[in-house]
Amino acid sequence: MKIELGANCSEIEDMLSRRYNLSEPVKLMGLEFDEGSDLVAFSFEVDAEDSIQIDRNWDSSAFTTGLIEEAI
């Protein structure tokens, strides 16, 4: 059985902004689903100064939990 959950783009953008206390707006630009590697990759546009604050080895579990909570 297939189900679909939705989340507003602005809420996903806000989650990233809050997580790293970014000073400029964040824009969700897209996402890709890679079934082979079991990965969903989000693409964001962020201010260059804010980008250095974002940990690329981030806690994906916390973000996923927050995203599912928003979707439900």
Contact (CB, 8 A) for 55 and 28: no
20 lies in some domain: yes
Question: Whole domain around residue 25: which residue ranges?
Answer: 9-71
Number of domains comprising the chain? 1
2 lies in some domain: no
53 lies in some domain: yes
21 lies in some domain: yes
Q: Which residues contact 23 (CB under 8 A, 6 or more apart)?
A: 47, 49, 50
Report how far residue 67's alpha carbon sits from residue 6's, in angstroms, rounded to the nearest whole number: 9
More confident residue, 44 or 56: 44
29 lies in some domain: yes
Kindly report, residue by residue over 25-54, the tens digit of the pLDDT: 999 999 898 888 888 888 999 999 999 998
**Global pTM?**
0.75
Contact (CB, 8 A) for 66 and 11: no
